[in-house]
Structure 1
Amino acid sequence: MTMIAQTKIVQEDCLIANVYTPETNGKKLPVLVHFHGGAFTIGWGDIKTDGNYIKSKQIIQVTFNHRLGAHGFLCLGTKDVPGNAGMKDQVALLRWVKNNIANFGGNPDEVTISGYNSGSSSVDLMSVSKMAQGLFKRVIAESGVSTAPFSVQINPIENAKRYADLFKFESVDNFDELEFFYKNLSYVELNSKNVLARPDSTFLMSPCVERDLGEERFLDDSPVNIIKSGNYEKLPMLYGYGEIQGQLRVPLLEYWEYWMNIRFLEFLPADLQFENETEKRRVAEEIKTFYFGDKIIGKKTTREFVEYFTDVMFAYPTLRSAKLHVESGHKQIYLYMISKNVYDNAVLPINASVADQCSETIGVLKDYWEETLKYKYDVEDLKTIKDILKETLLNFVTEGEPIIPGSKLRTWKPVGKNWSPHLYISRIFELRKSLMKKIALFWERIYDKYYAYPIAPPAPPPENSDS
């Protein structure tokens, strides 16, 4: 395997593919395409390239860059700014792989897509997008799904206005001026605002449901509606997350604790909407009590803080998606959770600054298994568990099933009703019954009543209409 050092340069022309091939004469090798994470805002393709997969001489790995932030995800519903530019970059990459990977010894009919956090949301969105059908065969979604609050914009025009507010732009209610403002920002200015620390578990600029402009759309309806309809290709999928994934929010605790105590409703996920503030406040208090009881939110409730954001951003969306898929007739969803017992530290440092969140995210993304799974046990335990996980994923990519090497389980069964079974990953691998059923049912009751379906941008005012 030949590795070439690259200098990281942020530029507008950013759709670049990195193809890693093993030193073998094998032909038609399975292909693993990895989608990088970073809140749809930061990151780059080869931030996570696992040489061990290539050294196995069993697969080819592809990473890539795409448009990010407002450059990739501003969604105005006009011909010039229809939305989902970053997702269409990703589809373009998959089409390139389909048409060209055979030249590198890869099999275009044996492509698996994988991702972490927003990269995971991306691959999950690919699985329900008509635009991406036929471009891959399997999906690995690590800590991010299409139904997460940060995955799809609930109201793209409102988000565009909020983002413009960050520039002190005042004419946000004049659509013509709003579009003109965005189209005349430089690339550097366009992506200059930090949206990683929003209390509503979104990043403003993310994929969207597109308005019908008579052209190919990446997403023509909300993921929930598409899954419920069953009108998508049901491919083998690995779905999972870490039990304390919400620790990525800990650097913000010291900035948020005051407001969480007096206005917890500001910290509800953006995809819950209410008829009035009184009802929102009532539900917010119910949720706050469920996680924090009568405790004052602060350093002493760090564990509860982590649990809340784990469940809001990762755990419940994953369980919700899994259940929706199963109810639509999908019988090839494999569900897992990584135990909190395998983390070296319970949480990130409390005194880390908000700015550190970006660097912490980058650190996690470098190598999911190595950076996230810091075990309390000795080095050999870590090496063994990590190697088993990687070989399990490799078996999924090459064989179509997540076969666990050296395990008495041998077969990791797909999830059925009530989130059972799931693979519990700690010092040992166990197939357990329902995953987080009490928490899942709590959130299910709330989402059944208050879920706000993502909508496409409305047609622009008549003077700007391009319909």
Structure 2
Amino acid sequence: MLLWTLILLSAVVSSFGDEAEWREVKTFQGTVRGRRDPEGGLYGFYSIPYATAPRGADRFKEALPGPVWLQTLDAVDKRIICWQAKTKYINVENQTMHEDCLHVNVFVPDTEEKKLPVIVIVHGGGFAIGYGNMMPIKQLVKEKKVIAVTFNYRLGVQGFLCLGTNDVPGNAGLKDQVALLKWVKKNIARFGGNPDDVTISGGSAGSISVNLLMLSNSAKGLFHKVIPESGASVSSIAVQIDPLANAKAFAKRLNFTEVDDFHALKAFYKTTPLEELMLDVISPVKDISNLFSACVERKTGSSVFLTDSPINIIKQGKYKKLPVLFGISNMEGSIYVDYFETWKNEMNEKFSKFLPIDLQFENEEEKDEIARRVKQFYFGPHPVNNQNILAYVEYFSDVLMGYPTFRTAKLQVESGNNQIYLYEYAFADESFPAVPHTDVRGAPHCGQTTAVFDGIVFVSNDESALSPAFKRMKTTMRELWHNFIVHGKPVPEGSPFPAWPAADASGNPHMSLDRVLELRGPFLDKRMQLWDDIYDKYYREPMSPPEPPPEKHTEL
């Protein structure tokens, strides 16, 4: 098998193109050859296999070491991505889905400088869709002389099924991320990067991931600064409340009926072809939950990524305190606008259906009372209707991203981390669509991420057609992010930007990132106080999968 792998990898070596267009790097697996970007300014090394995804009965286990090769590997984009459902959110038509998909891309500025700062980007997509190279970040590499790393990790069922057994322990996708960071630690100096100056960043599920990596003992020492963008480890979408119940629910959607027979359920997932397990699970749900995300693992014979709930790990201070540049956009909840016409009537009939899944109550009466209190806070005495759709957006912004971000920051500060820099990104270009029934525009989910990346994400990498205001905003965001990557502060001494101190436990201060940068007081203030009061009393911790029942043995 190893020999066949070597032959296959060697076969991709080619000799086309001018040799001056290529740069060779000797990694610990073998030599790779990256090509100069057509627009100049950097070299791209694509589709390097950093680890090997196990297959067959072992498909849910931790990744194996990456392959080795004897001849130079042309590191060109092979467009291999991990198995995922085809959705409206990203276009995967030109990509090839493969079970063994653990590839890394490295973007190196065209310079002879060494020990450059490194940014590792974890892609988003609800832990169910996406791939490393879906959002280019070449401008930051060329303008700021940093090395950027993007990569694939296992998704959906393949990456996040969690049954609590040795063969399906959970968190395979997050363990892939740890394997990638170990690869960076070992190899990045050979690309000109500094393994002791690594920043991890990500948007949405990528933001949750980098938050979780901070809390995992398995990732200690592999990075030094963190930029979570629109996603927090203590949110209801970050960690599965009941992994076994989720596994059963998803199997039912696939028409598997023996969900209460644990071993039959496990066999179903282990033997069904992956492509048949790829249903769309990315659409928003009323209780702000996720079928497949991280899980608190049982202690099995496998290596463990997450040993306790994020809340407990942070409260106990059992993690490395690192500089964190942490925030949200001001209209995160706009991703729920497509559901407004359907949900507004349901919210008026039974608002409690829309409370986050990580709240628990003694009975329905208590739940309805909290729902009444929350609905009154956001909508006043009025029903949810077209005239208060902005309150609808604000509600989902808060439960999805705003409060989990505040809560994470608050708990980290209380546990001793005095390097949390909070922000709310609020830039909205005139080209952005207005919220329905209004003429109001805001920054959508992960708006800050797309401002740092190239062009208009998923539309064009060309920034020449952008408005002058949008171009200025992109320049500002890249400068702030670069400052943090280099200095651990978004506004170091001597910067032309307004002073930006670290936040205290009340979320004070935070920076409003808009056409004008403005330092403001407590993060979302009274809205966060509301949810703090509720979560202090009704929070429900995620549980590990229960101990599996003994297997039944048929006597001969």
TM-score normalised over the length of structure 2: 0.77
Bigger radius of gyration, 1 or 2?
A: 2
Distance 2:398 2:283 in 1: 18
Unaligned residue ranges in structure 1 (runs of 5+)? 351-359, 373-377
2:500 aligned to which of 383, 396, 412: 412
SS at match of 1:417: coil
Partner residue of 1:264 out of 351, 359, 367 = 351
Runs of 4+ with >3 A deviation: 2-7, 340-350, 360-372, 404-411
Distance, in Å, in 1 between the alignment partners of 2:323 and 2:236 is 24
Q: 281, 289, 303: which is aligned to 1:216?
A: 303
| Aligned-partner Cα distance in 2 for 1:182–1:460 | 15
Which aligned pairs between 1:356-395 and structure 2 lie closer than 5 A? 371=456, 379-395=467-483
**Mapped contact 1:392–1:404 kept (Cα < 8 A):** no
1:17 matched residue in structure 2: 104
**Cα shift at 1:93:** 0.5
Secondary structure class of the residue paired with 1:122: helix
- 1:143-172 CA-to-partner distances (Å, cap 9, x unmatched) read 001011101111111111221221232222
The answer (yes or no) to whether the contact 2:429–2:469 under 8 Å persists in 1 is no
- CA distance in 2: counterparts of 1:122 and 1:164, whole angstroms: 25
1:80-99, aligned counterparts within 5 Å?
A: 80-99=167-186
Structure 2 residue aligned with 1:398:
486
Q: What is the RMSD of the two structures over their aligned residues, measured on CA atoms?
A: 2.4
* Worse-superposed segment, 295-304 or 319-328: 295-304
* Cα separation, partners in 2 of 1:404 and 1:345, compared to 1, 3 Å: farther
| Higher share of residues assigned helix | 1
Q: Aligned pair 1:139/2:226, yes or no?
A: yes
CA change 1:242–1:379 in 2 (3 A) is: same
Asked whether the 8 Å contact 2:498–2:519 carries over to 1, the reply is: no
Q: Aligned equivalents of 1:396 and 1:259: distance in 2?
A: 44
Q: How far apart are residue 371 of structure 1 and its match?
A: 5.0
Give distance in 2, aligned partners of 1:141 and 1:464.
46
Q: 1:439 to 1:464 in 2, by over 3 A?
A: farther
SS of aligned partner of 2:308? coil
Change (3 A) 1:414 1:57: closer
Residue aligning to 2:127: 40
In percent, how many aligned pairs have the same letter? 46
Q: What pairs up with 1:11-410 in 2 under 5 angstroms?
A: 11-56=98-143, 58-339=145-426, 345=432, 347=434, 371=456, 379-403=467-491, 409-410=497-498
Q: In structure 2, what is the equivalent of residue 441 of structure 1?
A: 529
Aligned partners of 1:48 and 1:367 also within 8 Å: no
Partner of 2:518: 430
SS at match of 1:170: coil
- Aligned residue pair count: 451
Q: Secondary structure at the match of 1:17?
A: strand
| Aligned partner letter, 1:16 | H
Query: 2:369 is matched by which residue type in structure 1?
Result: R
Moved more, 5-14 or 84-93: 5-14
Q: Deviations over 1:81-107 (max 9, x none)?
A: 100010001111001000111111111
SS of 1:389's equivalent in the other structure is helix
Query: What is the Cα deviation at residue 269 of structure 1?
Result: 0.8
CA drift of 1:267 comes to 1.1
Partners of 2:430 and 2:504 in 1: how far apart? 28
**Structure 1 residues 437, 410: closer, same or farther in 2, change over 3 A?**
closer
Give the TM-score normalised by structure 1: 0.91
Whether contact under 8 Å (1:234, 1:330) holds in the other structure is yes
- The whole-number CA distance in structure 2 between the counterparts of 1:343 and 1:228 is 43
Q: What letter matches 1:52 in structure 2? A: Q
Residue 49 of structure 1, CA deviation: 2.1
| Maintained 8 Å contact 1:125/1:146 | yes
> Aligned partners of 1:156, 1:250: CA distance in 2, in Å?
28
Provide the secondary structure at the position in 2 that maps to 1:227: helix
Indicate conservation of the 8 Å contact 2:204/2:446, yes or no: no
Any gaps of 5 or more consecutive residues in structure 2?
1-41, 45-75, 80-93, 438-443, 458-465
Structure with larger RCO (C-alpha < 8 A, sep 6+): 1
Partner of 1:452: 540
1:112 Cα deviation after fit: 0.3
Post-superposition shift, 1:343?
7.0
